[in-house]
Chains A and B, each alone.
Chain A
């Protein structure tokens, strides 16, 4: 009967953490799920009643929601994929840098240290038709934030500018894990620079790439402040988080807003699971050596 006792001790030791997690994550999530099953509008608090999945039906049949999902996916897919490529390039440069390695790393991190709202405003001003410096650049002289595609472009550029450093640092950590001898062996085996990168470096970095992708995708799916500052969701740029914000805090419709929140939660979790699954056996291999 030794094992059960050890188990009990284990659970006892975990209990405080489990309780804290339950209080700060499980409870709010469950409360939101419960709220989403009610018709509950703060403008008509007395009309509160259980409506089952009716709120979900409303959201899932509304064009606004689906347009927002599309906008969110466009922003997420473009920014994360560009960030991955740029971040990898930056990581390679930082990895190779012989002089001023620390300075380079610090410099690269600056955009990430800027508060998102400030960054979003800075980009908005830069592209402002009357005050922005982009006006002086000839062909770039146009009303950027008044047209859908260019508004998207600026939102995505802001995201990329801001979070590529983060991506680069995560990838740099992964790059440092690739054994130098394996690369030298590949060189002796006749592999070209590109072959060494794609057949040795990249597979060995898979765990780091997975982590970076996961963080950034989950983050990008919840994009809010950049859009809020730059277009406030106009021109079709409204992401799902802004839909939730509007329903919940502007319209004060708690039931519907909660349904939106739960759907966002499902969307983000689904994306995370898909990434982990999609990268396949990457994690077990992280434990080699």
Chain B
């Protein structure tokens, strides 16, 4: 049981590569904390710093308030599962599980008891006398987990533990890890580049990019109110569509229509998630299965129906996934202009609306999630709508979230 606090952690490798920059995080006792980010963003480096395999160039790691700087990894009593599993190839499964205990000088009887216990939790009993070379990927993964839990460590550090497994096994092991965490209640830091793993497993999570924490919070906070463009684009599948919003007084003009935008007087970047776009007139369905949003933003958001952007689009491609359908559409400008709220109006300052549309020469493309029963076919022109309060606004220069952030 432990609270892990990272203060101002930085890591610069000898060749000058900066892997981690000024990371401040607090990982609470007993929670499953996910570090999510693209390849090379410094996730493993951060994990290695927490466990002590790397010394940070700056900052401190503390566990329950005690600074861990300079403490050998073995003395931190944390257990780590490596991406490669790092099972000792010359030892049987039993010897692998017993290794940390043997090193710690646990007497043979107790050692056997704890190995048996861990083997039971992970259903490894039948494999105890096997050699690692004869195990499947999933079994090796379980051995690595087993070696981690026999020690009763203060924390588990898992570095992409599922990335070597096939999709089906990954889903299964993900559930198993969630179950294990619930059962043991040990503080866990889980590194992954897979957003599904992050969103499903995390109590709280942090999104990393280029060695910096972009945002930390619960999965709902991070998904619902991404702190910047990077987080918004990284989370969600298919990803959020971004478009340029041209400033017109308090409003911005989008290819989809006109919306009230927060922030100063400049242009904005607007993001729309596929699940927030629906077929016009299907509001009940859409609101029923839309992702719940955190309270703060919702309270501010006007719920009046006029804050609805309607536009017409041509379906270029349909992806039917059984439970849902994703439509890749091209927004039709003329129609949108004719029908869209305010789209055909003159700008308030009287200047003529620039031609062509604010998005430039190319037509705006967008992904919309439709109900799987939707009769829409490729090539159809459909009326779509999105609630203005579902739009995400970002500063086009800094990428930071605007408004309710």
| B-binding residues in A (CB < 8 A) | 179, 181-182, 184-192, 195, 199-200, 203-204, 206, 285, 287-289
Complexed CA–CA distance, A200 and B37 (Å) = 33
Contact indicator A288/B75 (Cβ below 8 Å): no
Contact indicator A189/B147 (Cβ below 8 Å): yes
Count chain A CB atoms within 10 A of each CB in B90, B99, B131 and give the residue with the most.
B90
Specify which of A181, A204, A287 is in contact with B84 (CB 8 Å cutoff).
A181
* Minimum Cβ distance to chain B for residue A135 (Å): 47
Dominant SS among interface residues on chain A: helix
Contact indicator A184/B86 (Cβ below 8 Å): yes
* Minimum Cβ distance to chain A for residue B53 (Å): 6
Complexed CA–CA distance, A211 and B346 (Å) = 86
Complexed CA–CA distance, A285 and B131 (Å) = 10
Count chain A CB atoms within 10 A of each CB in B73, B104, B131 and give the residue with the most.
B73
B292 on interface, CB distance cutoff 8 Å: no
Complexed CA–CA distance, A288 and B133 (Å) = 5
Cβ-closest chain A residue relative to B131? A288
- 19 A-B pairs (CB sep. < 8 Å): A179-B84, A179-B86, A181-B86, A185-B80, A185-B88, A186-B99, A188-B53, A188-B74, A188-B79, A189-B74, A189-B147, A190-B73, A190-B104, A192-B74, A195-B103, A200-B90, A204-B90, A288-B89, A288-B133
Complexed CA–CA distance, A182 and B147 (Å) = 12
* Minimum Cβ distance to chain B for residue A95 (Å): 18
| For the complex of A and B, 8 pairs with smallest distance between CB atoms | A190-B74, A181-B86, A185-B86, A189-B100, A288-B89, A288-B133, A203-B90, A190-B103
- Contact A190:B75 (CB < 8 A) given known A184-B53, A287-B133: yes
Complexed CA–CA distance, A188 and B151 (Å) = 11
Cβ-closest chain A residue relative to B82? A181
* Minimum Cβ distance to chain B for residue A44 (Å): 60
Count chain A CB atoms within 10 A of each CB in B85, B88, B104, B147 and give the residue with the most.
B88
Specify which of B51, B74, B132 is in contact with A288 (CB 8 Å cutoff).
B132
Contact indicator B86/A191 (Cβ below 8 Å): no
Contact indicator A187/B90 (Cβ below 8 Å): no
* Minimum Cβ distance to chain B for residue A286 (Å): 10
Contact indicator B103/A189 (Cβ below 8 Å): yes
Q: A182-B87, A200-B90 are in contact. List 18 more A-B contacts (CB 8 A).
A: A179-B86, A182-B88, A184-B86, A185-B147, A188-B73, A188-B74, A189-B100, A191-B99, A191-B103, A200-B88, A206-B90, A285-B89, A285-B90, A288-B90, A288-B131, A288-B132, A288-B133, A289-B133
* Minimum Cβ distance to chain B for residue A52 (Å): 50
Q: B88 contacts which chain A residues (CB < 8 A)?
A: 182, 185-186, 200
Specify which of B89, B99, B131, B132 is in contact with A189 (CB 8 Å cutoff).
B99
B268 on interface, CB distance cutoff 8 Å: no
Q: A191 contacts which chain B residues (CB < 8 A)?
A: 74, 99, 103
Count chain B CB atoms within 10 A of each CB in A184, A188, A192, A200 and give the residue with the most.
A188
Complexed CA–CA distance, A185 and B74 (Å) = 9
B93 on interface, CB distance cutoff 8 Å: no
Q: A195 contacts which chain B residues (CB < 8 A)?
A: 103
Cβ-closest chain A residue relative to B95? A199
Cβ-closest chain A residue relative to B81? A185
B78 on interface, CB distance cutoff 8 Å: yes
- Contact A185:B82 (CB < 8 A) given known A285-B89, A285-B90, A288-B132: yes
* Minimum Cβ distance to chain A for residue B250 (Å): 56
* Minimum Cβ distance to chain A for residue B182 (Å): 24
Q: B52 contacts which chain A residues (CB < 8 A)?
A: 188
* Minimum Cβ distance to chain A for residue B132 (Å): 7
Chain B 215-232 interface mask (CB, 8 Å, partner A; 1/0): 000000000000000000
* Minimum Cβ distance to chain A for residue B328 (Å): 42
Count chain B CB atoms within 10 A of each CB in A189, A192, A195 and give the residue with the most.
A189
Complexed CA–CA distance, A20 and B100 (Å) = 54
Cβ-closest chain B residue relative to A282? B90
Complexed CA–CA distance, A191 and B88 (Å) = 13
Q: B89 contacts which chain A residues (CB < 8 A)?
A: 179, 182, 204, 285, 288-289
